[in-house]
Structure formats: C-alpha cells, structure tokens
Structure 1
Amino acid sequence: MNPHIFLTALFAAAVAAAQPEQIIPRFLPAPPRGRTVVIGAGKGAAQLARALEAHWPHPLQGAVVTRYGYGARCERIEVLEAAHPVPDAAGLRATARMRELVSGLSADDLVIALVCGGGSALLPGAPEGFGLEEEAALNRLLLASGAPISAMNAIRKQFSTIKGGRLAAAAWPARVVTLVVSDIPGDDPALVASGPTIPDPATPEMALALAERYRIALPEPIRAHIAQSDGAPHPGDPRFARNSVHLIASARQSLEAAAALAEARGIPAAILSDALEGEAAEAGAFHAALALEIARHDRPFPRPVVLLSGGETTVTLRGKGKGGRNSEFLLSFANRIAGASGIHALAADTDGIDGSESNAGAFADGTSFERLLAAGQDPHRLLATNDAWTAFSAIGDLFEPGPTGTNVNDFRAILIR
C-alpha cells in the first residue's frame, strides 16, 4: 500500500462527505408564498449556490460571495469574488449587494442563507466612522494573534454592521433559513463566518475579555467603539422568531467518512477529536508523541491504525516565512518523528488552501527531517520562522488538491503501519 495514495483517499472521502450536491437536498425549506432570495458567503458558497439552484425548481434570485478563484457557474444566483483572509473593496461591494437583496422584503418572502468558513473576511462592514482600512488591520491583527477562530469571530462580530445576525435583522420581516457548513471547533453555527444571519448571546464585554485573554492589543479606536456599542442583536430579538438554522456539514461527519473508508481497506481508525485547537506546532508535537508510542509499544492503539483529527489549530507568527497551520503542524510532527519507520502523515485544510500559498497542506514521514537536511534546509529554523511551506516544497511533499468546494476545517490523518 502506498501511504500517500491511502492518505489522499481518506482526504477525498472527508471532502466528499461535505460536498454541497450531496447534502443540500436534505435541508431545503418549502417554497414561500412570496419571493425566494439567496444570500451567502464563504469559501464554499458558490458550490452551495450551484447545488441549491439544481434542486430548487421554483423562482429565486440572489448572490453569494467567495474567495478569488473559488467561484462556480450558476444560472440564477450571482457569484461574487473577494479577498480572503484580509478583506478588500470587492468584499465591500459584496456586502452592499447582500444588503440590497434583503431590503424591502415582506413576511411572505423567504431568505436562504448559505454560510461557510471564510465568510468573515468576505463580508466586511465596518461601523460608522471606520472604513475598510481599519477592518483589514483588525483582521491582520487577529490572524497573527494565535487566538482560536471562535475568539477571533466573537471580536469581529462586535465591530461590524453585518455580522452577528445583523444581515438577518435587515431582512425582517422575511423568514430566514440558514444552512451552515461548519469550520468551527464545536460547531456553533453562530460563530461560522461570524454569523451574519445568526445572533448569539455574546456581548461587547465578552469580546473585550477575549482580546485581553489572548493578548490582542486592539487599536484604541476599535476597542473604544466595542466598549461603547450596544453589541450585536440578541437571540431573543423578535426579528429572529421565525428563522431557523441547520448545520448541514461538519468536521465530525467528514472524519467519520474517512474512518469508514480506512476500515473498509483493512486499517482500523481512531478519531481523536473533531475540535482540536491550540498552537499548530504544539499539536504536531503531541501527535508525534502519540504516533511514536503506538509504533514502539502498540499503545494506546495496536498497529496498524490511522489516527484522524479535525478542528482548527492556530499559528502565532514569529517569522515572515511562507506557511500555514497544517504545514506548520506537520513540520513540528516531522521533526519529532525523525528516523522512525512506518509512520506517515497528511495534514491539510479541507477547502484546499493552507495559508497564503497554493497547497492545502503536506505529507510527512520519518525521513522528512533527513531529506530536509540533504536539501540544505534547517528544519528547526524553518519551524521557528513559520516557513513550513518552504520546507515541504524543498522535498516535494506539498499536497495541492486545489479548491475543493467545501470547508470543514483541518483534516489530519496519521498512518502507523
């Protein structure tokens, strides 16, 4: 068995389990007496829109926004593209288009919101007195902080005119049905894409407390605005009374699909967690210690076995190298298992992009460290400078499946033979 082929097949099974064409039909609402308007945002929003069109024989109109290069052909729904992970002017135009679509609706109308990971950056909307520059700066600060995505989105929604349920409030009195593909550990729908159509009970005080906990030095004007604001709408607001939310895909479902495929091929699978968080390098070191324990002592799982995990790790930037959280996880992992035989790993983002380059992640095994040295690279320095992309590019072990059309966060598979 070729380990790369096996691990790639597991990734494909995980992604297939979250494909819109497979999951959308089960969650479509009944058509309304009035109009149907579709809105959406995220790295898989265009594919969700295409699947909805294919299974919705009634009249509709709408628009969704996705990352540049992630579009899909739709006949009745506009597909807009904007920057991710730092918002740009195209994102502002997309936000304006969403507001336009939901304005002036009646109680007989239906809004279907397609929400998935990446929507926070793709739908910028800074409060009055602020602009795109301040919102982009906030995003850069949050991305470099090492804070979990749940904390970042909790802060984002308190500095917005569209997040935290505000887009759904603007659609009132129309009914809003939100279909969510979760990329958030714990699968809280209100945190995915900062919940443009879903309110939650978080307050400005909670957001500021999170900033303090993770040592995020918010610019004083932004901190002051959050402190003085009334916050995002509360779930008890009557404007949300008729709305509904459906979690249609998650990391758990994708990990279970990968586990089923592994076992069908004769390799027992153990799902460690679908909600792993924390520093990518530390998570890599932990997974390496567990893999070595299994390889040497057949505990806590006997060989052969494939360890699966999901969630979203973070990277606190210390250097200016190229990389992403999955590549950094694997470089830390590779450094710890150097020289070990029979251990092979893949870590990748299920949307097809890890960080700012074209790879979803990478492969690693017990020879990675030695091959890096042979290629004239210093694995420890590369890890210290957040330059994992350079490491795996040097030894030809980048994993580049391209955009997948969905996003249920990180996927990690470690085969111990």
Structure 2
Amino acid sequence: MQTLNTLRSDARAIFDAALRAADPRLAVERVLARRGNHLLLNEIPIFDFTRGKLTVIGAGKAGAPMAQAVEAIVKPDDYLGAVNVKYGHLARHHAGVISNSARDGVRAPTKFILLYEAGHPLPDENTLRFTHSLLSLLEEQTENDLVLCLFSGGGSALMEYLVNGITLADLRVFTNELLRCGATIYEINTLRKHISQVKGGQIARLAQPARVVSLVLSDVLGSPLDVIASGPTAPDSSTFADCIAIVEKYHLRETFPPSIVAHYERGARGEIVETPKADDPLFARVTNVIIADNKIACDAAEREAQQRGYAVQVVSTTLQGEARELGHDIAARIKHAPTRTCVLGGGEPTVTIRGSGKGGRAQELTLAAAIEIEGDAELVVMSAGTDGTDGPTDAAGALADNTTVVRARALGMDAHTFLENNDAYHFFAALNDLIITGPTNTNVNDLMIALR
C-alpha cells in the first residue's frame, strides 16, 4: 500500500539515480581514452605523447572527479595540470585526505593535477591567486602541444583574471548584485565575460598555438558552450552593447561598482577589444565537447521512477523562470494527475530577492509548491540542485508534502510569510525537510520531482 513515507523515500531515490547518471568520472571516461602514445576523443586521435606536451587546466564544482578520470586514462606521464574547485568539493572517493589547497594547492586526491579550492558563488582572493597559477601553465605552448580543459558548473566564479582597473572588491559587489537581480544565467555570464581576461573564449586565445580540447559538464539549459563556465574556450556571441542593455534592464547602474559600468561603456564605444567571436581563426584548433547535462540526469530519474511503478510525465529539461511560479505549476500538474504518477522536470529557476531571509531557488520552488498542495491527497514535491548546493546554503533543496503547511502552522510558522521573505531555508529546516547531500562533485542544473 502506498503511503506518504513511501512517496517521500521514492522521491529521494529518484533524485539519487539522477546523480549517479551525472557522475563526472563516468562522463569523462565515455569520451576520452588512451591507446599507446595517442590520446583519443570519441575514438579520434587528438594528441601524440611522443611529440608534444600535455597540460590540463579547468574550473568547476565537478573538477576533482573529472581530473581523477583524466589521470586514470592518461596514466603516469610527463604532464602538468591545475583545476580550481569549490571549497569542500575535492572528490569524496579518497576519505581521509587533508587539503591544504587554500595555501599551496594539493595533489590529493589526484597525483599530477593540482586541485585549488576557491570561493563560490562569491569569488575570493584564492580565485584570483589560483587562476594566475593556472594561467602560468599555458606559457610556452607549441603547435604540437595539447591543452585539455575540464569545465563544469561554478567555473565562472572559480576562475577569474580581471581586466585592469577592476578589483576583487568590485567583483564581489558585482556578483552579489547579479545573484539578487533575477537575471538569467545567459545575462549574468554576458556581464562576467566582459570584465574578464579568461572568459568568453579568452583561455583559447591564451593557449595559442597549442591545440585546445575542452570537456564540458553542462549546468546551463540547452548547453550553450559560450555560457557554461562563461565559455572560456568557446566563441563569444555576446557584446559590450549587450552588457549595457542588461545593466539598464535590471537597473544595475546605481548598484554596480562605477569601474565596471565605465568599462562596459568604453567597450560599447569601441575603445576596448571585444571577446573573440566565431570567425576568429584561433578557434580552428579548438574543440569543445559536452560530456553530461540535465537530460542525462532526467533520463535516469525517469527510468528509476518507472522501475518503482510510476507513470512518468516529463515536463521539460530546460525549465526556467521564477522559482515560485514553477513550483505552483508543478504542484498543479501533480494535483490533477492519476495515482502512481511522477512529474519530472529539469532546469534552472531564478529567484528575485525581495526579502531578507535565507534560501535558494530549489527551496523556494518547493515552498511555493507546498502552499499549492496543502490539504490535498497524499502528494510529494521535491526540488534540489544536482551540485548539492542551493543558493548560499548547505542544502541541495527541500521536500514538501500535503501536510507540510499544516505541520509548519503547528510550529507557529506561516508558509506565505516565509515565501515572501525568501526564507525557505529556515522554514524547511524547522520541519527537518531540507535535502542535505553535501558536495556531490557534479553539476547539471536542478531536478524537480512530484509524486502521488
């Protein structure tokens, strides 16, 4: 007999199946191999170890397991590497390893590739320091060399080398305002690319004349290469003029540091060189490959739900928009669905912050859904980030059922008040309904699961 506890445990099991499918190590192993002295990408030789030098660089929350996979494939050889990861996101496969990377970089849990820990979502001093160290590996490249890049979600914050005249303090204010204004990731990364010397194809420029191959684990809807991690090795389709338009759209002129607004204005007047575009000859020796994305995770979630006896309705793997509105929509779908139905969705909601509370997009979506399903039949709605981090919290997301709002009311909490204050974290914490995974070492957007 189906019970509310069964629905709740099934929702978590479905989410866990999605995480396993998005494992970065497996994703790298699917596309990269070594045979003899040659490195192969999708069975095509891309590098000869006897003729050139291999350099591995990267940034993102999935950087550690991606680096581990590369080391297992390449095996001992003469190469250098460095990857920037978020604090606490060293691969969990090597329990007991103590990181000192905040000071010097750490070779564990990897042997040859240094793992540097830095700030996310707010860049910090380590972000700038370790990006400088990473870029030093790109010096003195030749045409016979290969720069293998490992990029995943979070790379935009974790790898930065600012243009002259903009400081770390400016960058942190800028990032805070971006995360609050409700802009899409496309818009956010357009702005990021145009104050950076590494984003928007500029790593490809710095790596010349070496061949560049980037393995990309996508956390952006539709997997546009110039947006994921702000496209360090992809042609940039955005311009300084786009930056000015975004600043005006979200009324950021007064809240952004003056140095950043002035930089955009000089660029729009043609006084600053644009990021490299698709017709730039440097991209003739650049290959970018998407190795995992939200669809792979959603497909695995669908299979798990079917194995548990649910009829599955996949809404979309590219959901976007205000989190609370998506929460209402998913809740309405499951309310009107037959028993033993699973409604699945993937994507990247946004939150326009108007209150002073604590939370994230997945938690806010779940709180809005909880209000919608109050007092209904036995229903469960869960939303969580596949990276294990939802906004500036230690939670991946939250889970709600048809009793959530009533249970909260018994504790003196009004769900509507918490929603309006953007305080979903404290709401679900009081109910013990936060989803806490810890760092998952992957990042392919969010998953939304509704069951009845």
Task: Give me the TM-score of the superposition, normalised by structure 2.
Answer: 0.88
The answer for the alignment partner of 1:18 in structure 2 is: 22
Which residue does 2:59 correspond to in 1?
41
Structure 2 residue 250 is matched with structure 1 residue 250: no
Match in the other structure for 1:123: 159
Which amino acid in structure 2 is aligned with residue 271 of structure 1?
Answer: V
Letter in 1 for 2:156: S
Task: Tell me the distance in 2 between the aligned counterparts of 1:122 and 1:103.
Answer: 21
Q: CA deviation at 1:154?
A: 1.2
Could you tell me which residue of structure 2 aligns to residue 383 of structure 1? 419
Long gaps (5+) in structure 1: 295-301
The aligned runs of 1:338-417 (5 Å cut-off) are 338-416=374-452
Letter in 1 for 2:17: A
- In structure 2, how many angstroms separate the alpha carbons of the residues matched to 1:269 and 1:34? 50
Aligned position for 1:299: none
Cα distance between partner residues in 1 of 2:291 and 2:243: 27
Distance in 2, Cα, partners of 1:255 & 1:158:
33
Matching residue's letter, 2:19: V
1:275 to partner: Cα distance: 1.1
Q: Is the 8 A contact 2:165 2:259 kept in 1?
A: no
Counterpart of 1:228, as a letter, is R
Q: Distance in 2 between matches of 1:189 and 1:16?
A: 23
Deviation of the 1:146 alpha carbon: 0.8
In 2, are the aligned partners of 1:185 and 1:274 still within 8 Å (CA)?
A: yes
Q: Contact between 2:233 and 2:288, CA under 8 Å: does it hold in 1?
A: no
Counterpart-to-counterpart distance in 1, 2:69 and 2:372: 43
Letter in 2 for 1:21: R
Residue of 71, 77, 89 corresponding to 1:53: 71
Partner of 1:67: 86
- On the 8 A contact 1:124/1:135 being kept in 2, the answer is no
Please state whether the residue corresponding to 2:299 is helix, strand or coil.
helix
Partner Cα distance (2:28, 2:282) in 1: 25
Deviations 1:287-336 (A, max 9, x none): 22222222xxxxxxx43211111111111111221111100000011011
1:311 matched to which residue of 2? 347
Q: CA deviation at 1:271?
A: 1.3
Alpha-carbon distance in structure 2 between the residues aligned to 1:24 and 1:191 = 20
CA RMSD of aligned residues (A): 1.3
Unpaired runs of 5+ in structure 2? Answer: 33-40, 92-108, 268-272
CA distance in 2, matches of 1:414, 1:154: 33
SS at match of 1:317: coil
8 A Cα contact 1:148 1:312, kept in partner: no
1:222 maps to what in 2?
Answer: 260
1:364 and 1:214 map into 2 onto residues whose CA distance is 32
Which residue does 2:127 correspond to in 1? Answer: 91
2:99 is matched with which residue? Answer: none
CA distance in 1, matches of 2:352, 2:125: 27
1:129 Cα offset (Å): 1.1
The answer (yes or no) to whether the contact 2:55–2:79 under 8 Å persists in 1 is: yes
Percent of pairs identical after alignment?
Answer: 41
Residue aligned with 2:413, SS: coil
Deviations 1:162-184 (A, max 9, x none): 11111121000001101111111
CA deviations on 1:148-169 (whole Å, 9 max, x unpaired) are 1111011110111111111121
1:265 pairs with 2:308 = yes
Structure 1 distance, partners of 2:204, 2:153, is 18
Q: What is the CA–CA distance in structure 1 between the aligned matches of 2:341 and 2:78, rounded to whole Å?
A: 50
**Which moves more between the two structures, 23-32 or 85-94?**
23-32
- Greater displacement, 78-87 / 129-138: 129-138
Encode CA deviations 1:114-148: one digit per residue, 9 max, x unaligned. 11111111112221011111111111110001111
CA distance in 2 between partners of 1:114 and 1:274 (Å): 23
Residue deviations 1:39-72 (CA, integer Å, cap 9, x gap): 1101111111111111112442100011101113
Which string of whole-angstrom CA distances, capped at 9 and with x for unpartnered residues, describes residues 231-285 of structure 1? Answer: 2111221112111010000001110111011112221212111111111111111
Amino acid at match of 1:3: L
1-structure distance, mates of 2:331, 2:24:
34
Q: Distance in 1 between matches of 2:367 and 2:137?
A: 45
Q: Match for residue 276 of structure 2?
A: 233
Number of residues of Structure 1 aligned to a counterpart in Structure 2: 409
SS at the partner of 2:349? coil
* Matched residue type, 2:296: Q
- CA offsets, 1:74-120, max 9 Å, x none? 11100000010011000001210121011211111001111111111
Q: Which amino acid aligns with 2:7?
A: P
Q: What whole-Å deviation, never above 9, does each CA across 1:193-240 have from its counterpart, x for those lacking one?
A: 111122222111122223333443344431221232222111221112
Distance, in Å, in 1 between the alignment partners of 2:442 and 2:158 is: 15
Contact 1:125-1:132 within 8 A present in 2 as well: no
SS in 2 for 1:55: helix
What secondary structure does 2:336 align onto? Answer: helix
Question: Which SS does the other structure have where 1:144 is aligned?
Answer: helix
**Aligned residue type for 1:406:** T
CA contact (8 A) 2:166 2:259 kept: no
Please give the alpha-carbon distance, in whole angstroms, between the structure 2 residues aligned to 1:83 and 1:314: 21
Quick one: distance in 2 between partners of 1:130 and 1:154?
17
Amino acid at match of 1:238: P
- Contact 1:71–1:80 (CA<8 Å) still a contact in 2? no
